[in-house]
Amino acid sequence: MSQGQALSLATQAMLLTVKLGGPILLASLCVGLVISIFQSVTQIQEFTLTFVPKLAAVALIILFTGHWMLAQFVGFTESLFSQIPHLLAG
């Protein structure tokens, strides 16, 4: 495996990680921001208040996009396995 092939695989893996983790992190960030603003306005300083809404938001994101995420991951894995002979040869 050449340095260019390794760099290409690493780049593809990082892009896939961003694509798969992005929606979950974005939903968690948005829910956390809304809850933090709510806590600031109402002066409720309960640290556990953000846990349940974030958990629900992440569960909903996984419920709605889980099939797409799994398909993306399986496609990437299948492409890696199909490239094994080419990567070992050159």
Domain that holds residue 80: 3-89
Cβ(90)–Cβ(19) under 8 Å? no
Q: Number of structural domains, the chain?
A: 1
pLDDT-derived band at 43 (thresholds 50, 70, 90) equals: confident
24 neighbors 62 (Cβ within 8 angstroms): yes
pLDDT in tens, 4-40: 888 999 999 999 999 999 999 999 999 999 999 998 8
pLDDT value for 25: 96
Residue 47, pLDDT above cutoff 70: yes
Residue 66 near residue 23 (C-beta atoms within 8 A): no
